[in-house]
């Protein structure tokens, strides 16, 4: 079945550091790929998405590129801020049927001033 593997956290960075959170997936067909973010005390919200190979999703300075050849969707940001501290979930949506979403286990990011 479908699965998502993302790097374990927590990840601790200093403000303005470069961020990479790795995500790889296993799926049949052509899934859509997502990054969701969960800020402290809040619900999950969509950060960015990509629906086909080589697409780049971007939002709030974050980017991720859908790499079919490496089955990856790594999240990057050039300069993190304290306000980026949150848990980040990589996810994929089955392209068949009702688009069941499979989530990774989440990576906690802590940015220190």
Binding residues for another protein, per CB under 8 A?
32, 34, 36, 42-46, 49, 89, 93, 98-106
Give the nearer residue to another protein in terms of CB position, either 5 or 65.
Answer: 5
Burial class (CB in 10 A: 0-12, 13-18, 19+), 89: buried
Give the nearer residue to another protein in terms of CB position, either 42 or 69.
Answer: 42
Tell me the closest approach of the beta carbon of residue 104 to another protein, in angstroms: 6
| Closest residue by Cα to residue 1 from 22, 21, 23, 31 | 31
Tell me the closest approach of the beta carbon of residue 26 to another protein, in angstroms: 15
Give the nearer residue to another protein in terms of CB position, either 36 or 73.
Answer: 36
Give the nearer residue to another protein in terms of CB position, either 43 or 113.
Answer: 43
Tell me the closest approach of the beta carbon of residue 72 to another protein, in angstroms: 18
DSSP secondary structure, 35-75, as one string: EEEE-TTS-EEEEEEE-STT-EEEETTEEEE-BTTTTB--E
Burial class (CB in 10 A: 0-12, 13-18, 19+), 14: exposed
Tell me the closest approach of the beta carbon of residue 78 to another protein, in angstroms: 25
């Amino acid at each position: 079945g479908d699965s998502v593997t993302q790097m374990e956290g927590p990840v601790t960075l200093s403000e303005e550091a470069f961020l990479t959170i790795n995500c790889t997936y296993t799926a049949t067909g052509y899934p859509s790929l997502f990054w969701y973010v969960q800020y402290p005390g809040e619900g999950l919200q969509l950060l960015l998405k990509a629906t086909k190979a080589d697409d780049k999703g971007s939002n709030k300075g974050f980017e991720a590129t859908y790499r079919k050849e490496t089955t990856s969707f790594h999240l990057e940001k050039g300069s993190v801020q304290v306000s980026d501290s949150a848990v980040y979930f990589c996810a994929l949506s089955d392209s068949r049927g009702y688009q069941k979403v499979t989530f990774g286990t989440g990576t906690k990011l802590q940015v220190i001033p």
